[in-house]
Amino acid sequence: MNDFKKIAELTNLIGMVQARYAYAIDDGDFYDWPTFFIDDCFYQITSADNFGQGLEAGLMWLDSKAMLHDRILSLLEANVYERHSYRHILGQPHISSIEGDEVESETSFMVARITREGPTDLFATGRYVDRYKVTESDAKIMKRIVVLDSSYVDTLLGFPL
């Protein structure tokens, strides 16, 4: 019963954090994105094929909060691309492991992309494979591997998922 209560609480907490995470990317301030991570974090985007075969490379492979910040900085200040935005739809987190204040979870996502001269398209589906550091009222991402279901990416994957 305690386990159930604990898992329900964590599901709720991580779900809330992830709702804010999606808001930051889709509707809020991109610079808030790194604040969901601990300083010494790891963030990677890869495909299910690469992930399954244990291949290490990523479409993004960032191993500090500062690098996450730089990603946003570069996208907003340096890189050139056509205006577009994302809409994240997240599933409920599945808590897969609890070790003290570190929690592993997986969450399915679908992301639509809205481009300047195109309709809204389904851009990416996949799952977050996460490790969180949990406190009473917050959870910070220690490690997030974004596992895309498909190895095919249309045109550009600039902003984070």
Partner 1 sequence: MAAFDKVGAKRPTWSEEDGASRVPYWVFQREDVLEAENKKLFQGPVWNFLCLEAELEETGDFVAVSAGETPVIVTRDKDGQVYAFENRCAHRGSLLALEDRGNVKDFTCVYHAWTHSLQGDLIGVAFKDGIKGCGGIADDFKMENQGPRKMRVSVLHGLVFGCFDEDVDDIEDYLGEAVLERIERVLGGRKPVVLGRFTQILPNNWKLYVENTKDSYHASILHTFFTTFELNRLSQKGGIIVNETGGCHVSYSCVDHGETLDDDQKNAYKDENIRSDSDLSLTDMSLLESFKEYDDDITLQILSVFPNFVLQQIQNSVAVRTVLPKGTDSMHLKWTYIGFEDDTPEQRKMRLKLSNLIGPGGYVSMEDGCIGNFVQRGTKGAPDERAVLAMGGHSIETGTDRITEAAIRGFWTEYRGRMGL
Which one, of 94, 91, 74, 49, lies nearest residue 160 by Cα? 74
Tokens found for residue 1: 């019963």
Nearer to partner 1, 11 or 64 (CB): 64
- Closest approach of partner 1 to the CB of residue 50, in Å: 5
User: Residue 155, interface with partner 1 (CB under 8 A)?
Assistant: yes
Q: In the 8-state DSSP scheme, what is residue 35? A: G
- Closest approach of partner 1 to the CB of residue 55, in Å: 4
d(C-alpha 60, C-alpha 54), whole Å: 16
- Closest approach of partner 1 to the CB of residue 147, in Å: 12
Listed ranges 10-18, 92-100, 129-137, 147-155: which one lies at the site for partner 1 (CB under 8 A): 147-155
Which one, of 72, 62, 8, lies nearest residue 38 by Cα? 62
- Closest approach of partner 1 to the CB of residue 49, in Å: 7
Residue 106 three-state SS? strand
Tell which positions 42-81 bind partner 1, by CB under 8 A.
45-47, 49-50, 55-64, 66-67, 69-70, 73-74, 77-81
d(C-alpha 106, C-alpha 2), whole Å: 21
d(C-alpha 121, C-alpha 116), whole Å: 12
Nearer to partner 1, 49 or 138 (CB): 49
Nearer to partner 1, 74 or 96 (CB): 74
Q: What number of other Cβ atoms are within 10 A of residue 60's Cβ?
A: 16
- Closest approach of partner 1 to the CB of residue 42, in Å: 11
* Half-sphere exposure for 108 (CA within 13 Å, toward CB): 5
Catalog residues that contact partner 1 under the rule CB under 8 A.
Answer: 45-47, 49-50, 55-64, 66-67, 69-70, 73-74, 77-82, 117, 151-158
